[in-house]
Chains A and B, each alone.
Chain A
Amino acid sequence: MADEPIISITDMGYTYAQAERPALAGIDLHIERGEYVAVMGLNGAGKTTLGLCLNGIIPHMLMGEQTGTVLVDGKDPGTTVVREMARTVGIVFDNPEFQMSQITAAEEVALGLENLGVDPSEMPERIAGALRLVGLEGMEERSPMGLSGGQQQRLAIASVLVMRPIILFMDEPTSNLDPLGKDEIFEIARRLNQEEGMTVIVAEHEVEVLAQYADRVVVLDEGRIALQGPPSEVLSKVDALTALGLRSPQVTAYAHALSGASAGLPVTIDTTLDWLGARA
């Protein structure tokens, strides 16, 4: 891993225009290249806002008051054009259909390339590559509106991946999907992180899945980071999470009830079986 964190946020705060209270405050977050970071928090805790601060939408598109510093791959989103930031950070949102605007899947993926002024002769191959990465190979001529929710979300990811970002922020990507769709998206996130080395940040409520793949869990509460650390550390704090209106994986809650401990608890089924074995 490189020496410098790929994302360096120091004492960052952001208040939307005409909002009464800040959406984010005192954020200190340093993410290493290749990390899989899970962001948890109630609706309105600031997860989406955090993502938008990474690619420059905040402050360029959404005017408001921002304080502190943000550095993404050495660039300051505040002073870098969104076009540049789009090459570094890709964002996928929670409603797959709301991200579609083109008549065919290929054109949806091509949109980013067109905006970046990429040579048209390069496009077909890059589009095919992006579709392959998300398991939609050969679907260039399909209409996005005719795809299932899971397929649309994968198309949205492809449309972002084609711009070759090194960081992918996914804002509740599975909340509108059925279990099959959820599995597909989490599998893509895992593959991009483990096989392509991408830095992946996923804001989600599916705590059991996140516990399995994340290197680090960040818990947001009303715009502030309440907890941060490896899954086994953060998710073991069962009572603290409950107080925040969140929950730990069921197996962790079980281990907590048995042992009364709030540290070093297992967060997956396999580690729980080991843990139970060691206790016996």
Chain B
Amino acid sequence: MQGVNVSVTHVRGTSWLHRLNPISKLAWVLAVIFFAFASYNPFPLFAIAGLGLLAGFTASIGKPLLRILLVFAPVTASMIVIQTIAPATCSNACTAAAQLGPFTLYQEGMSHSLSLVSRVLAMEIIALGVLMTTHPSDLFAAFAKLRVPYVLNFMVSMTLQLIPVLQREVSVVLSAQKSRGMKSSGFGSIVPSFVPVFAGAFERVQQLSISLESRAFGSTGAKTSYRQVKFGPFDAALAIIGLIAGVIGTILGLTLWSVDQTPSLVLSAALTVVIFVVAAIMFIGVIAAALLAIARA
């Protein structure tokens, strides 16, 4: 099929973000991840998430980015729902913000959950933004340049490719079993599929390894790389700025914005209820849909 993206998360394009050096981009992803882990203050994190989304739109990957975020939305929603009614940070000293039927919505819970959501969103958006604008081959070439061991690099890239293949194999095996009258009742129906899929995977790996060996894969001599990643002064500067920003941010996060020091978000009762209800709908809706799909299968 012409124009099919080479991997699940890659979107073709020629934007500024696409053209940035993968190593520089990776540096910024690392920076954001470290900062997000160290900090609990939702304001800078939501800001990063927002800026990331904006950058995504300027790079023409806005819509695909939102689509993937929607897939993760139920998980983030679950965090809000659970934390708000059963906060982890205030034990017995919680302040009730609102009452919704039998549920008491606690202010600390909502605040803490929003802080968690901001961390997740910041990491997600930046990481996805980079993944979507970096051709997987360039990504692996970047890893190779960073002296990631060849075999490890190859294993990850191979796994990336095998996922859709194995998905297809599982689907074929399930079709074959259904065609023999197998009723799919939960997990028990998947288990008989493991053997054929593993046998197939084993056969594939056998032939692949001989094919690779035949092309001198196991050779101990020096290997060269087809895909070159140029790393000029601009790219190096960008990467270093990113790393420095990451270090500064992490220090700030650890000293100023840790769990205890984070100012608690105090939202009005109405806002608390609205956010809670929206999150609950997302969360329950997805669970219900999943249960329905399992029951119907």
Direct contact of A and B (CB under 8 A): yes
A-side residues, CB < 8 A to B, are: 52, 55, 57, 60-61, 81-83, 86, 90-91, 93, 95, 97-104, 106-107, 110-120, 123, 127, 143, 145-146, 156, 159-160, 163
Please name the residue on chain A nearest to B4 by beta carbon: A146
Cα of A156 to Cα of B226 in the assembled complex, Å = 17
Q: Are B164 and A117 in contact (CB under 8 A)?
A: no
Q: Are A98 and B204 in contact (CB under 8 A)?
A: yes
Q: Are B211 and A82 in contact (CB under 8 A)?
A: no
Q: Are A98 and B211 in contact (CB under 8 A)?
A: yes
Q: Are A57 and B213 in contact (CB under 8 A)?
A: yes
Of the candidates A93, A100, A117, A123, the one whose C-beta lies within 8 Å of that of B221 is A117
Interface size class of B (residues with CB under 8 A): 35 or more
B residues near A160, Cβ cutoff 8 Å: 214-215
Q: Counting chain A CB atoms within 10 Å of each CB, which of B7, B136, B157, B224 scores highest?
A: B224
B residues near A123, Cβ cutoff 8 Å: 224, 226
How many whole Å from A163's CB to the nearest CB in chain B? 7
How many whole Å from B24's CB to the nearest CB in chain A? 21
A residues near B158, Cβ cutoff 8 Å: 101
B-side residues, CB < 8 A to A, are: 1, 4, 6-7, 136-137, 140, 154, 157-158, 160-161, 164-165, 203-204, 207-208, 210-219, 221-228
Q: Are A104 and B6 in contact (CB under 8 A)?
A: yes
Q: Are B210 and A103 in contact (CB under 8 A)?
A: no
B residues near A113, Cβ cutoff 8 Å: 224, 226
What would 24 A/B residue contacts be, using CB atoms closer than 8 Å?
A57-B213, A57-B214, A82-B214, A82-B216, A82-B218, A90-B214, A93-B207, A93-B211, A98-B208, A98-B211, A101-B208, A102-B137, A103-B7, A103-B140, A106-B226, A107-B227, A113-B224, A117-B221, A117-B223, A119-B224, A120-B224, A123-B226, A143-B4, A146-B1
Please name the residue on chain B nearest to A104 by beta carbon: B137
B residues near A127, Cβ cutoff 8 Å: 226
A residues near B222, Cβ cutoff 8 Å: 117
How many whole Å from A136's CB to the nearest CB in chain B? 14
B residues near A156, Cβ cutoff 8 Å: 211
Q: Are B224 and A118 in contact (CB under 8 A)?
A: yes
Q: Are A86 and B215 in contact (CB under 8 A)?
A: yes
Of the candidates A86, A101, A107, A143, the one whose C-beta lies within 8 Å of that of B216 is A86
- Using A90-B214, A114-B223, A116-B219 as known contacts, list a sample of 6 further A-B pairs with CB atoms less than 8 Å apart, ordered by residue number in A: A61-B213, A83-B221, A98-B207, A103-B161, A111-B215, A160-B215
How many whole Å from B56's CB to the nearest CB in chain A? 23
